[in-house]
Amino acid sequence: MLTSFQQAVHKAYVKTVEKVTPTLSTSKFLEEGVLTPEEFVQAGDLLTDKCQTWTWESGDPSRNVSYLPKEKQFLLTRNVPCYNRVRTLENESKAAKAEEIKIEDDGEDSWVAPQPTGNQDVDDDKVDISTLKIDDKKPNTTTTTTTKPTNTNNDDDDDEDDDGDIPDLDDFQDDNIIEEEDPAVLSKNKTSTTTSTTNNNSDSKVEDNDNILRTRTYDISITYDKYYQTPRVWLFGYDENRKPLKPEEIFEDISEDHAHKTVTIDSHPHLGISFAYIHPCRHAAVMKKLVDRQSENGKEPRVDQYLFLFLKFISVVIPTIEYDFTLEFDT
């Protein structure tokens, strides 16, 4: 892990090199797993077309880069849910391992079986079906049937039956119409909200029984990194009350192997505010492996699908942030 001083030195070095290094113009997608700016735009166009939650953004005009279109400076998706902390997943994984039983096979090979859960008092013997009882009682139901009337000699009865079968709409009053309660409709009486306003801020406080799931959310953006010639992912998080997350809170949603190592805090190149970002130093090498795997499996790698492959492996770093990369294909 780099110290703050080392990070500052490296950042200054990268900026200097970017100024003197020409922009990549020849495709090296298959050879090195990198992108030209034109290929980045091409891949971004497919992402925004297939996943409507992603959009192109222009950002601060004073921070625009000349090698990308003004209206396509970076990609952004907003309000991405993050339901759990990474620690929760790690604890569940440890608990699952703790419940495993190791079964030996003659002292040589072994395999693992899950620990039985639930009611352990149930007898292992099979239940005798003959002991089961079936209740023949029928439920109390009310059934209304309509039969075709038959002709009789009593005309008055026929008139009365006809009048009973077809009611006159004029006889209905407003109090005869009963509106049935739909259990699927949320009653106004069940939910109440109170709003408190102070001089510094205004917060909305909703009672705990309002049936609304509150969770952390993230704004995720993807920029083009000229130095590494790959995409770079940026994260800006909000808590359950839409207040910005502190850096240490953001790291709660980063995998333990990457927090404070490949994920650090820096100023967003197009917005000028602090974001967490995933360092792109290994992006090209990983993408090269994924591209080679596609070729080995008889599939022709497509540069416009780059970001879908890219977002798949980025999910290893942020496994609980559920962003959209819905185009499905095998690597």
Q: What is the 3-state secondary structure (H, E, C) of the chain?
A: CCCHHHHHHHHHHHHHHHHHCCCCCCCCHHHHCCCCHHHHHHHHHHHHHHCCCCEEECCCHHHCCCCCCCCCCEEEEEEEEECCCHHHHHHHHHHHHHCEEEEEECCCEEEEEECCCCCCCCCCCCCCHHHCCCCCCCCCCCCCCCCCCCCCCCHHHHHHHHHHHCCCHHHCCHHHCCCCCCCCCCCCCCCCEEEEECCCCEEEEECCCCCCCCCEEEEEEEEEECCCCEEEEEEEEECCCCCECCHHHHHHHCCCCCECCCEEEEECCCCCCEEEEECHHHHHHHHHHHHHHHHHCCCCCCHHHHHHHHHHHHCCCCCCECCCCCCCCCC
Question: Tens place of pLDDT for every residue, the chain, 331 residues?
Answer: 456 666 667 667 777 777 778 899 999 999 999 999 999 999 999 999 999 999 999 999 999 999 999 999 999 999 999 999 998 876 766 555 555 444 344 444 444 444 444 444 444 455 455 555 555 554 454 444 444 445 545 555 555 555 555 555 555 455 554 555 555 554 444 444 444 444 444 444 444 555 677 899 999 999 999 999 999 999 999 999 999 999 999 999 999 888 888 899 999 999 999 999 999 999 999 999 999 999 999 999 999 999 999 999 999 999 999 997 666 655 5
Distance CA 234, CA 231 (A): 10
The answer to whether the pTM exceeds 0.95 is no
281 is catalytic: yes
Contact between 210 and 193 (Cβ < 8 Å): yes
The single residue of 12, 103, 112, 281 carrying the catalytic annotation is 281
